Structure 1
Amino acid sequence: MNDLTGAIPLDHAAYTRAVLDLTMRLAEVIFTAGAGAEDATAAMEALTRAYGLKGTEANITHTIITLTQEDQATHESITRSRNVKYRTLDYTKLTLTSELIAELIEHPVDIAEARKRLAIIVSSKPQVTVRFRRLGWSLVGAGAAVLIGGGPVVMMAAFIATYLIDLITTTLDHRQVPLFYQTVVGGAMGPLAAAIVHIIDPTVNPSIVVVATIIMLLAGVTTFGAVHDTLSGFYLTGTARMVEAVLITGGLVTGVAGATLFVSRFGLDLTVQSRWVPTLLDLPLLLAASVVIVIGFSLAVQVPWRAWWVVCLLGALAEFLYLIGDLAGLGLVWASGMSAIGVGLAASVAARIVRTPPLVIMVTALVPLVPGLILFRGLLQLSNGDINGLLNLLTAAAVALALAAGAILAQYVVQYVWGPARRLQRRFVGPLMALPVRLGRGSTKRI
């Protein structure tokens, strides 16, 4: 044991509070930046052990982080808690903090020094400015339009519409407007943009613009984190995240449905035409569109620069595996799950090469497979009184779950066979996704 943890200060209570406070601050940063409850909990317990505290219990809900340490000699306990005040995807901050956590677990430094290093990460300038992050969301919309068969006019309309959506929703967020109403406004922008496209060029299918905006709005939804927390046994946090995802989707559906009804009064029919069935001949276009989506999402959520080439390759891989599965007749859900498993396995290797948590790579690479078209088709069918719309909505939910569950399964298999999942405490039943882990039968130091 190093000098820092070998001689605990005489004021044990003060030292304990300082360690608990540092640990919770680190866990809060990765949790709010996109990590799951399991990763944050595992990090807290590993950090407190590294700093010489035994008998520590960590607990996370959707809005509160709690850490308790019981003195084994006196059986007196000290409990600290922090409220999670905000939550936004920031993969650069997540990566830097995860690296700091891994370093502190292996080589604990003075608490004041560790807090200083964390403060530098938290207060540092974003990797890209707000303007470039907004441009990223626009690229997601434009790439999504091409991915589902849109032409140049539709692609340009989707680019502009998604730019305005991010601008408006960000303004509403700064004014502390509830998230539901933000997504209602964002969802309503799609049909309005489609109406303008129809006026400019009546020969194109304007509904593709709506689908592109839906994909852009769904890209940041917490479905992945909800599934991860639920499969890992953190049912309360997983349920809360799932409710948040349902709330966002509900606001999106409300906005799209209301705006669609409004434009229909002026004679614009946004009914989705027969589904464009891509073939292998369309593969180059589909791969290019997928890479554009991945690049846009990487800008929006600030994926570390060193991981960009990896997420672009895996984004193309995800689309390729999905297309192969779809053409083989596996169906939307199984094709999505197969693609997610393939990406998850590749992410295990890629994460070590670019020193980036697997979570960052997998979520970014799977964005092109967000089921926006299925969701929109189901919404239109329900608005017309067609019960098949409910089946499409359920299919969209199943695709989203398949993407998350498939990627998590791949990580679990890799870490169980070669890595730390075999040695985790009993309460952890899933893989670590947001912490640097060493694969190998003898490596347990980093968890």
Structure 2
Amino acid sequence: MAAGPDRPDDAVSDERAVDTPYETTETSRTANTREITATMDLALRIGEVLLSSGAGASDVSAAMNNVGRACGLRRFTADVTFTELTMTAQTAGDAVPVIQIRQVRYREVDYGDLTLVDQLIRQVVAGVIGREYASRRLNQIISSGHSRPRWSISLALGVMGGSIGLFLGGDWVVVLVAAVAAVLVDLLQRRMGRRRLPAFYQQVAGGLLATLIAVGVTATPAQVSPSLVISTSIVLLLTGVNFLGAIQDALTGFPLTAGARILEAFLATAGIVAGVSGGLQVADVLGVDLGHVSPGAYALADWPVMVVGGAIAAAAYAFSAYAPERSLLPIAIVAGLSIGLYAVALDRGVGIAWSSALAALLLGLVSYPVARRVRVPSLVVVAAGILPFLPGLSIYRGLGLAATDASAALLAMVTAIAIALALSSGAILGEYLAQPIRREARRLEAKLAGPRMVGPHSVRHERGVRRRR
């Protein structure tokens, strides 16, 4: 196969090493061990980037298996848990197994890196590049840093907070306060993150700061609802996307990872509750009368305002997560369409859970072709498009009411779980329906173990590999 304009020169020389099956004779086992170790290391590091960027366990497992098989590895297994990736290979029945384990540490979500790694996986699977070049390219992606200055990320989060305030029916004062609170909370959490404080304490500090901002606004002559101001100010801290990831893992057969993610989401939300409670205590000490504060209370705006606010919020979140610029406008359009369907369904008397499910189904159905068009993983479009539906706000409301009204807290938690299930299952079902529409997908349909939001379905070039052999 000749090198083309998109095929690196050293990928050609590396092709023979990738496509040649591993020997199992006694004399070659030492060399084979080095080859197996290098292949497993590449697959594990790719899986680490995907898992830390929010990809589901099923996507990570499929990507690791595809990379291993594309690089010639056979008789291996790949296992994914919440904080650990494991690969085991045994070239023959009497051979000593090779095992590699990689701990997954938290890193800032970077959809730009995720997009580059997704493209790297596709090139490896398609046989365009070999293992050695892929390993060097992965090193460049991981070590290159972010593509945008940090001040622009804080500004985008401020835009996202203000847009959510618009989405929830706030006036210009609420929108402004939500934007300022989002920027300040981001700066505070980033400063605490540099000191390596656990995420729980960062959530407590963020909730405290957001509540103190609401207390300060209430102390002014401005006529605003303290509950609405607090709800819009803590949007940046909510863990709805993580909760959705947990539901996805549970639906796709990874209960252990799903349980860990759910526990993490509830712990982070409990930190917000503690911070907001501390801010309300400060208000009492200062003598600021906030009236009756209902945790997580909000009201939706008219549907045109909802569409505009939700679309801007989705695009701003994608920008803050370093998504490529070419994807921002399509993300805003897809989110606007989903929110429009959600508003129409609510207006027709459909329940909030079914309205969320219909909107998520449309989101999953449309995000797949849109993501392929703009050359990003569909996870980027889905995660940004689901953000305006705010499942985390219902979780916060349930935990916030637990100490004062047990029955209302139970109802809020059931509602939160129903919304999260509806959004996750709807988005995944949309992916199921969208993927077979592709021209080549009917040949792969029997092989699909689940929808892939990151990476290709399978090693499609394997037949061509045998032909070259």
TM-score (norm 2): 0.86
2:90 maps to: 70
- Letter of the 1:124 partner, please give it: S
Pair 1:194–1:15, CA change in 2 (3 A): same
Match runs of 1:86-105 below 5 Å: 86-105=106-125
Distance 2:240 2:357 in 1: 19
Specify the alignment match of 1:271 in structure 2.
293
Maintained 8 Å contact 2:226/2:290 = no
Aligned-pair CA distance for 1:45: 1.2
Match of 2:234, SS state, is helix
Equivalent position amino acid for 2:82 in 1: H
Match in the other structure for 1:298: 318
Give the alignment partner of residue 424 of structure 1, picking from 441, 447, 452: 447
Q: Aligned match of 2:149 in 129, 132, 147?
A: 129
TM-score by length of 1: 0.90
What SS is found at the alignment partner of 1:226?
helix
Query: Distance between the aligned counterparts of 1:20 and 1:335, measured in 2?
Result: 43
> For each residue in 1:113-132, what CA deviation from the matched residue of structure 2 results, as whole angstroms up to 9, or x when unmatched?
22111111111231212111
Match for 1:196: what amino acid? G
Q: Distance in 2 between matches of 1:372 and 1:142?
A: 17
Alignment of 1:284-433 (within 5 A): 284-371=304-391, 374-375=394-395, 378=398, 381-385=401-405, 387-415=407-435, 419=441, 422-424=445-447, 428=449, 430-433=450-453
- Which letter does structure 1 place at the counterpart of 2:421? L
- Please identify, of 412-421 and 146-155, the stretch whose mean Cα deviation from structure 2 is larger: 412-421
5+ residue gaps, structure 1, are: none
Q: Residue 25 of structure 1: CA displacement?
A: 1.1
Determine the C-alpha separation between the residues in 2 that align with 1:355 and 1:30.
16
Contact 2:326–2:374, Cα closer than 8 Å, also in 1: yes
The aligned counterpart of 1:240 is: 260
Distance 2:392 2:48 in 1: 31
Q: Distance in 1 between matches of 2:247 and 2:400?
A: 27
Structure 2 partner of 1:113: 133
5 Å-filtered alignment, 1:204-223, equals 204-218=224-238, 221-223=241-243
Q: Deviations over 1:268-302 (max 9, x none)?
A: 22535996464xxx333222211221122012211
Say whether the 8 Å CA contact 1:423–1:444 is kept in structure 2: no
More deviation, 103-112/168-177: 103-112
Q: CA deviation at 1:55?
A: 0.5
CA contact (8 A) 2:240 2:391 kept: no
1:154 aligns with 2:180: no
Which one-letter code corresponds to 2:263 in the other structure?
Answer: V
> Percent identity over the alignment?
32
The one-letter code matched in structure 1 to 2:445 is R
| More divergent stretch after superposition (168-177 vs 385-394) | 385-394
Cα displacement string for residues 176-218 of structure 1 (whole angstroms, at most 9, x for unaligned residues): 1111111111112222111111122342223222111232211
Aligned residues: 436
Deviations 1:158-190 (A, max 9, x none): 111111111111111111111111111111222
Q: Which amino acid aligns with 1:271?
A: V
Partner of 1:60: 80
| Aligned equivalents of 2:368, 2:212: Cα separation in 1 | 42
- Runs of 4+ deviating beyond 6 Å: none
Q: Deviations over 1:396-427 (max 9, x none)?
A: 232123212211121123335653873437xx
| 1:148 counterpart letter in structure 2 | L
Q: Distance in 2 between matches of 1:85 and 1:377?
A: 30
Check conservation: 1:340, 1:366, Cα contact below 8 A. yes
Question: 1:58: how far off?
Answer: 0.3
Question: For residues 45 and 377 of structure 1, what CA distance do their matches in structure 2 show?
Answer: 40
Q: Distance in 2 between matches of 1:58 and 1:168?
A: 38
Alignment of 1:83 onto 2:83: no
State the secondary structure of the residue aligned to 1:150.
coil
1:177 aligns with 2:200: no
- Please state how far the C-alpha of 1:363 moved relative to its aligned partner: 0.9
Q: Is the 8 A contact 2:53 2:110 kept in 1?
A: yes
Aligned in 2, Cα 1:383/1:205: closer, same or farther, shift over 3 Å?
same
